[in-house]
Amino acid sequence: MTSSVLKNGAAVLALTVAGAALPVSAGELVYWSMWNENEPQAEALKEIMANYTAANPDTTFNVVWNGRQNQTKLRQALAARTPVDLMDQDSDQLAGGLQLQDQLRDLSGDLTDEVKAALLPGVLSLYGQGDTIAQLPYIYNTVNFWYDKEALAEIGAPPATWDDLIALCGAARAADTHLLVIEGNVAFYNAAYFSHYLARRNGADAMLAAFADKSGEGWNDPAVLEAAKAGRQLWDAECIAQDARGFQYPAGQQTIAMGETVGELVGSWLPTELSATTGPDFGWGAFNFPAVADGKGKTTDLEVAMVSIAILKDAPNADEAAGFLNYLMGAEAQTLLAEKGGVGVTRGGVTWPGALAEAETAAAEATALTPYGGGLNVLYPEFTSQVLQPEYNRMFLGETTPEQFVERLVAETKKYWDSQN
């Protein structure tokens, strides 16, 4: 066990090894987090907690920095009746996990009206169930095309339509570069082309609507095959270098930092992930997925990847935890999180880091929000991870055809729903 005295001297946070049992004292909030202790987001949270204790001396924090497997480790702890007050996790995972299992406290009566009113459009309702608020998104990641502004300026401007994007690929090749890059082994990154195109074609709820047809025939909508073929068009138009098929994360994104590629369709965590390579003066830009012909969806509709904080249903100090959540969503804490954590935040009126300026605009102007991948992963995570994403990646990388991909979705969707009877 280690300890850290934060710089203002207001509080001592007991920082344990991942998964270790923690003693609980009166006024001490036990917080299990998805961040690793040395990440900038964790450093920001440490300072926020210290500031809260300075203003509320009776409340201290006992933190477990579990990393990305936090929810899995927390389930084991809860089964062993380990008392935990607060936890955070990727919002999609939380919605399909502890929230779905009814292990989170309803926050609807805990959050102040000021906090509720201050959140950006759609944030609070995205994972809500009627009037119930089981999780509170506090970090906001948008999904956009992230690009090198200087490199793009040499070949053109952000595209308004899919055809514009394909034409921009040609301009990039004429300048001896490639417009886009992928990580060949990250299926959920690559499947974002499919979910975005289908959403632009059929509307923001297109993925869930197609899967809702229990016969599987929802995937036989011609727009689905069109979306699949659009992914392959990126290769035919040489938007992506052929050797990117073999890239293993993070090899692809590093080509942007090295000036070998212009951009990538990915979440707004990319500038932070590449900051050690690009340095602070790299000119990051972001544009939304463009419009498609005869599309019903808007270019201001966003896929997002939030991070949420929640109070456990059986939290020993639930009321004290609720007080901290309201503080975390205040302007002071959200500003510190943005500045020190290098992230977008969910409270309106708080300036995001400069590299994320265009993502901040996209969030403020969003007309509809869906979770990463069109929302299918939230309600049907196994189908998404075991069928849709790997099957799309095989097709996208040229191992199967778009027609075979659609046939597979039809058959596997019917099989899934038949198994639920």
45-56 tens-digit pLDDT: 999 999 999 999
Place of tokens 């509720």: 116
For 267, half-sphere exposure in the C-beta direction (CA atoms, 13 angstrom radius) is 21
Same structural domain, 158 and 294: yes
Chain segment 202-257, per-residue pLDDT in tens: 999 999 999 999 999 999 999 999 999 999 999 999 999 999 999 999 999 999 99
pLDDT exceeding 70 applies to what percent of the chain?
94
Q: Which has the closest alpha carbon to 152: 321, 305, 298, 358? A: 358
Same structural domain, 287 and 215: yes
Report the pLDDT value the prediction gives residue 341, as an integer from 0 to 100. 95
Tell me if 289 is assigned to some domain.
yes
CATH number of the domain that 394 lies in? 3.40.190.10
Report the pLDDT value the prediction gives residue 318, as an integer from 0 to 100. 96
Q: How confident is the model at residue 288 (pLDDT cuts 50, 70, 90)?
A: very high
Same structural domain, 218 and 170: yes
b or e along 183-197 (b: 16 or more beta carbons within 10 Å of the residue's beta carbon)?
bbbbbbbbbbbbbbb
* Burial degree of 17 (CB within 10 A; 0-12, 13-18, 19+): exposed
Tell me if 374 is assigned to some domain.
no
Provide CB contacts within 8 A for 286, sequence distance 6+: 142, 144, 145, 146, 147, 268, 356, 358, 359, 362
Same structural domain, 325 and 395: no
Q: How far apart are CA 155 and CA 317, in angstroms?
A: 57
Provide CB contacts within 8 A for 80, sequence distance 6+: none
Kindly tell me if the per-residue pLDDT of 301 is higher than 50: yes
Report the pLDDT value the prediction gives residue 10, as an integer from 0 to 100. 30
> What is the rounded average pLDDT of the residues 273-294?
96
Tell me if 323 is assigned to some domain.
yes
Place of tokens 């991942």: 18
> What is the rounded average pLDDT of the residues 92-98?
95
Q: How far apart are CA 230 and CA 414, in angstroms?
A: 25
Q: Dig out the tokens for 110 from the structure.
A: 């805990």
Tell me if 363 is assigned to some domain.
yes
Same structural domain, 224 and 261: yes
Tell me if 125 is assigned to some domain.
yes
Tell me if 152 is assigned to some domain.
yes
Chain segment 21-45, per-residue pLDDT in tens: 334 445 899 999 999 999 999 999 9
- Which domain covers residue 117, as residue numbers? 2-140+305-369
Q: How confident is the model at residue 347 (pLDDT cuts 50, 70, 90)?
A: very high
Same structural domain, 161 and 37: no
Report the pLDDT value the prediction gives residue 22, as an integer from 0 to 100. 38
Report the pLDDT value the prediction gives residue 355, as an integer from 0 to 100. 97
> What is the rounded average pLDDT of the residues 406-420?
97
Kindly tell me if the per-residue pLDDT of 361 is higher than 60: yes
Beta bridge partner(s), residue 311: 86
Least confident of 8-12, 161-165, 341-345, 349-353: 8-12
Same structural domain, 352 and 287: no
Tell me if 75 is assigned to some domain.
yes
Query: Within the chain, how many helices (H) and strands (E) appear?
Result: 19, 13
Beta bridge partner(s), residue 61: 29
b or e along 56-79 (b: 16 or more beta carbons within 10 Å of the residue's beta carbon)?
eeebbbbbbbbeeebbebbeebbe
Kindly tell me if the per-residue pLDDT of 8 is higher than 50: no
For residue 82, the Cα-to-chain-centroid distance in whole angstroms is: 28
Report the pLDDT value the prediction gives residue 59, as an integer from 0 to 100. 95
SS (H, E, C) 31-52: EEECCCCCCHHHHHHHHHHHHH
Same structural domain, 66 and 89: yes
Report the pLDDT value the prediction gives residue 376, as an integer from 0 to 100. 95
Least confident of 11-15, 339-343, 411-415: 11-15
How many structural domains does the chain have? 2
Same structural domain, 356 and 386: no
> What is the rounded average pLDDT of the residues 162-172?
98
**Rg of the Cα atoms in the chain:** 22
Provide CB contacts within 8 A for 65, sequence distance 6+: 15, 18, 33, 35, 36, 37, 42
> What is the rounded average pLDDT of the residues 406-416?
98
Kindly tell me if the per-residue pLDDT of 7 is higher than 80: no
Same structural domain, 86 and 211: no
Report the pLDDT value the prediction gives residue 415, as an integer from 0 to 100. 98
Q: What does pTM read for this prediction?
A: 0.91
Same structural domain, 189 and 126: no
Q: How far apart are CA 103 and CA 51, in angstroms?
A: 29
Report the pLDDT value the prediction gives residue 130, as an integer from 0 to 100. 86
As a whole number, the mean pLDDT across the chain is 93
Provide CB contacts within 8 A for 185, sequence distance 6+: 247, 248, 249
Beta bridge partner(s), residue 263: 147, 180
Tell me if 375 is assigned to some domain.
no
Q: How far apart are CA 111 and CA 116, in angstroms?
A: 7
Q: How far apart are CA 87 and CA 196, in angstroms?
A: 30
Kindly tell me if the per-residue pLDDT of 11 is higher than 50: no
Chain segment 125-160, per-residue pLDDT in tens: 999 988 899 999 999 999 999 999 999 999 999 999
Same structural domain, 178 and 274: yes
- Asked whether 35 and 65 are in contact (CB, 8 A), the reply is yes
Report the pLDDT value the prediction gives residue 129, as an integer from 0 to 100. 84
- Asked whether 182 and 247 are in contact (CB, 8 A), the reply is yes
Report the pLDDT value the prediction gives residue 329, as an integer from 0 to 100. 98
